[in-house]
Amino acid sequence: MPSDPLAQLYDDLERGGYDPRGPEYKFRSRCPGHDGEAHSLAVCEGVDGRAVLFCHAHQCEPADIMTALGRGVRDLFRDDTPRDNRAPEREDDLAAALLMRLYAIGIGWKPGLQRDGTPNPGFFVGDRCPVCKSPHLLIQRVSQKTAIVSCAAGCSQRSIRAALRVEAVVR
């Protein structure tokens, strides 16, 4: 997608007849994922200029929404998004699955930092907990099949996993 995914998404929704309303940086539209009549799709700018989608009516997956528009999930990101700010790419990686579910439900995340300020591979910080909305959610990739998820407010691992709909073992 061009350097402004929100403007492109707005144009695509307009061309598709989904009637986007509001300024290009934060708007609502009919959702192409379920083709409803109400303006249930909320679109706003996330971390690093990426487009964040959330369907309030049916919680349609961003991939389904973008497919209905003839685009892919990668089109939600700016061309210049640093690689360190993207999810791990292996589909069988539990940390990647957790990060993609955070993104799918509209929760931003960023890489954790080491003491010297450089990104710490395998450590990510979510904008908020999907259960209690606390502003601190930590995800640490221990191995390909294991990730530690913790919430500052003390939500149980089971409740966080259920909220993210990730069916793997999370410690």
pLDDT per residue, tens digit, the chain (171 aa), is: 457 888 999 999 999 999 999 888 789 999 999 988 899 998 887 656 678 888 888 888 888 898 899 988 778 877 765 544 444 444 456 666 777 777 767 777 777 777 777 777 777 788 888 888 887 788 877 776 777 788 878 888 778 877 877 654 443
In a domain, 87, yes or no: yes
Last residue of a domain, one of 76, 101, 123: 76
Q: Which two tokens stand for residue 145?
A: 């099949």
Instruction: Determine the pLDDT at residue 74.
Output: 78
Q: Is residue 16 part of a domain?
A: yes
Q: What is the pLDDT of residue 169?
A: 41
Q: Which residues contact 159 (CB under 8 A, 6 or more apart)?
A: 131
Among the three residues 76, 101, 126, which one is the final residue of a domain in this structure?
76
Describe the strand order of the beta sheet including 51-55 as a list of residue ranges: 26-29, 41-45, 51-55
Last residue of a domain, one of 32, 56, 76: 76
Distant-in-sequence, close-in-space partners of 63: CB < 8 Å, separation ≥ 6 = 72, 73, 104
Give domain status of residue 169, yes or no: no
Q: Of all helices (H) and strands (E), which one includes residue 123? A: strand 119-126
Q: How far apart are CA 83 and CA 92, in angstroms?
A: 19
Same domain for 119 and 102, yes or no, is: yes
Q: Is 171 among the domain residues?
A: no
Residue 6 CA to residue 30 CA, distance in Å, equals: 15
Is residue 170 assigned to a domain? Answer: no
Angle at 132 between CA 126 and CA 138, to 5 degrees: 25
Q: Tell me if 114 is assigned to some domain.
A: yes
Q: Is 155 contained in some domain?
A: yes
Q: Is 37 exposed, middle or buried (0-12, 13-18, 19+ CB in 10 A)?
A: exposed
pLDDT recorded at residue 154: 85
The confidence score (pLDDT) of residue 10 equals: 94
Q: Which domain holds residue 92?
A: 83-164
Same domain flag for 88 and 119: yes
pLDDT value at residue 8: 92
Count how many domains the chain has. Answer: 2
